[in-house]
């Protein structure tokens, strides 16, 4: 199979490695495309030598890459608000598409993707690696078994610490018109998990969101004055716990700081700027087609990082807690490790709660990435009894919760999904689980 990648920032490396190294015996990387010549060169130079090397193209030459290289699949890892352009153009050129989450950020762009897919019949895969994390797959396995009966409600809380969480407020993600906000960019993972776990999709959504922490007032209270537009030249950088030192990280320096002159992109903007348009504190309530309800919280400035989820069922409860990072102490980010970092508890009615042995794996994202990449790039991977692969239908339903939540935050009203879709002329079939 021939693959081409558009977008050579940090996220594309996982896909490049899978195609050009791990599964190179059955796949070929035939093209790389980006707006930035320096990032293009970094990526091309990292591809193991073979033949004449991989062809590189500027963003404006994307159509030329499609016509010259004729990739079977185009992998899209550009900023979220540009996904639809490349997905649609690739499908119309005869290629299938593999895209990073979220598939896109609003209903207008979603309609463009769905219309093009219907017109061309091409395949769109959204890479939801969280489904493949062994511990999350275990939850699906338990729910599929019927151990807790019918699921009636889900409580889901996601915590981003003040390193990871802050990073969304210094990059392009900080503008809602580029990322859809964290309820689309980040939470699409979480809403997809709930859709997959429940085997259902939302029928109504209501939400509340604020930017409570990443504000100028917080910086003032911390004594961070004067402040510059970016960490690299900020007079308060030496006393700021939120500083990103691009000079100190060779990979980030090469990928971004040294490449700024190409496109003007600044990777270390101040997280307390007034022009930020996304929220850092969000709560969502949703009702699903099965009748189950969801209470969801995302906080982007927690003292620790991880998740807590509880399923309430007619026969009992299933709980899971994952501590990814204990916290930041003395400037060091203490990552959690070992079996104590994840706990899963099954509590059936009339019985004592039982601590289960949590499924584990090796590799990034809790062991998810190697498993997912195997199913994506190895044709002999076999059938997946958990149905973890994700199509454009899954991609659409995953972002709908976040897009509807954004609408609810704007209007203060509950959003009914069927009416919301009809308003935008979108005919989205229900997922067949």
- Domain extents in the chain: 2-126, 130-213+277-364+390-423, 216-263
Sign (positive or negative) of CA dihedral 402, 391, 195, 280:
negative
**Could you give the 3-state DSSP secondary structure of residue 385?**
coil
Cβ neighbours, 10 Å, residue 193? 23
Q: Which residues contact 149 (CB under 8 A, 6 or more apart)?
A: 313, 314, 315, 316
- Predicted confidence at residue 382, as pLDDT, reads 85
Query: What pLDDT, on a 0 to 100 scale, did the predictor assign at position 362?
Result: 86
Looking at residue 49, what is its pLDDT? 80
Per-residue confidence in pLDDT tens, the chain, 433 aa: 999 999 999 999 999 999 999 999 999 999 999 999 999 999 999 999 876 689 999 999 999 999 999 999 999 999 999 999 999 999 999 999 999 999 999 999 999 999 999 999 999 999 999 999 999 999 999 999 999 999 999 999 999 999 999 999 999 999 999 999 999 999 999 999 999 999 999 999 999 999 999 999 999 999 999 999 999 999 999 999 999 999 999 999 999 999 999 999 999 999 999 999 999 999 999 999 999 999 999 999 999 999 999 999 999 999 999 999 998 876 778 888 766 799 999 999 999 999 999 999 888 888 899 999 999 999 788 899 999 999 999 999 999 999 999 999 999 999 999 999 999 999 998 877 7
Q: Could you give the C-alpha distances from 168 to 1, 98, 160, 176, 238, in angstroms and in order?
A: 34, 23, 10, 11, 21
pLDDT of residue 339: 66
Other Cβ atoms less than 10 A from the Cβ of 297: the count is 14
- Pairing of β 415-416 and β 305-313: unpaired
8 Å CB contact between 196 and 140? yes
Cα–Cα distances (Å) from 428 to 115, 119, 387, 392, 422, in that order, read 10, 14, 20, 10, 9
- H/E stretch holding 417 reads helix 417-423
Class of the domain covering 2-126 = alpha beta
Q: What's residue 130's pLDDT?
A: 94
DSSP E strands in 136-292: the ranges are 151-161, 202-210, 281-288
329 close to 340: Cβ distance less than 8 angstroms? no
For residues 112-145, b (16+ Cβ closer than 10 Å) or e, as one string?
ebbebbeebebebbbbbbbbbbbbbbbbbebbee
The answer to whether the predicted template modeling score (pTM) of the entire model surpasses 0.85 is yes
**CATH number for the segment(s) 130-213+277-364+390-423:** 3.30.360.10
Whether the bond between 226 and the residue before it is cis, its omega within 30 degrees of 0, is yes
- Alpha-helix runs per DSSP H in 37-82: 37-46, 62-69
**Which of 172, 424, 382 lies closest to 278, judged by CA?**
172
What is the C-alpha to C-alpha distance for residues 119 and 345, in angstroms, rounded to an integer? 46
Three-state DSSP string of 313-377? ECCEEEEEEEEEEEEEECCEEEECCCHHHEEEEEEECCCCCEEECCCCCCCHHHHHHHHHHHHHH
């Amino acid at each position: 199979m021939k693959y081409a990648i558009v977008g050579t920032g940090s996220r594309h490396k996982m896909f490049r490695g899978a195609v050009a190294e791990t599964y190179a015996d059955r796949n070929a990387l035939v093209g790389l495309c980006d707006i930035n010549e320096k990032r293009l060169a970094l990526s091309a130079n990292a591809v193991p030598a073979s033949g004449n090397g991989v062809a590189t193209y500027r963003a404006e030459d994307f159509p030329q890459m499609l016509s010259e290289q004729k990739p079977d699949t185009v992998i899209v890892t550009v900023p979220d608000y540009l996904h639809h352009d490349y997905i649609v153009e690739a499908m119309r050129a005869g290629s299938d598409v593999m895209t990073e989450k979220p598939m896109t950020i609003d209903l207008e762009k979603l309609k463009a993707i769905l219309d093009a897919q219907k017109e061309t019949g091409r395949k769109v895969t959204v890479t939801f690696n969280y489904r493949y994390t062994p511990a999350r797959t275990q939850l699906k396995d338990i729910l599929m078994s019927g151990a807790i009966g019918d699921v009636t409600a889900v409580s889901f809380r996601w915590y981003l610490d003040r390193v990871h969480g802050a990073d969304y407020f210094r990059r392009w993600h900080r503008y809602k018109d580029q990322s859809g906000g964290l309820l689309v960019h980040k939470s699409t993972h979480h809403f997809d998990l709930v859709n997959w776990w429940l085997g259902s999709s939302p029928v109504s959504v209501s939400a509340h969101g604020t930017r409570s922490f990443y504000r100028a007032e917080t910086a003032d209270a911390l004594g961070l004055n004067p402040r510059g537009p970016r960490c690299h030249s900020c007079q308060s950088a030496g006393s700021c716990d939120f500083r990103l030192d691009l000079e100190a990280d060779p990979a980030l320096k090469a990928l971004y700081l040294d490449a700024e002159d190409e496109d003007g992109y600044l990777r270390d903007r101040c997280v307390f700027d007034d022009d930020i348009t996304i929220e850092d504190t969000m709560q969502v309530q949703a009702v699903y087609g099965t009748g189950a309800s969801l209470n969801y919280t995302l906080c982007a400035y927690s003292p620790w990082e991880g998740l807590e989820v509880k399923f309430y069922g007619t026969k009992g409860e299933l709980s899971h807690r994952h501590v990814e990072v204990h916290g930041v102490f003395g400037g060091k980010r203490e990552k959690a490790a070992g079996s104590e970092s994840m706990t899963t508890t099954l509590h059936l009615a009339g019985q004592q709660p039982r601590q289960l042995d949590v499924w584990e794996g090796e590799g990034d994202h809790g062991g998810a990435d190697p498993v997912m990449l195997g199913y994506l790039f190895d044709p002999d991977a076999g059938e997946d009894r958990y149905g973890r692969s994700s199509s454009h239908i899954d991609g659409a339903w995953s972002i709908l919760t976040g897009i509807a939540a954004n609408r609810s935050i704007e209007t203060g009203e509950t959003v009914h999904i069927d009416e919301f879709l009809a308003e935008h002329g979108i005919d989205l079939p229900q997922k067949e689980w």
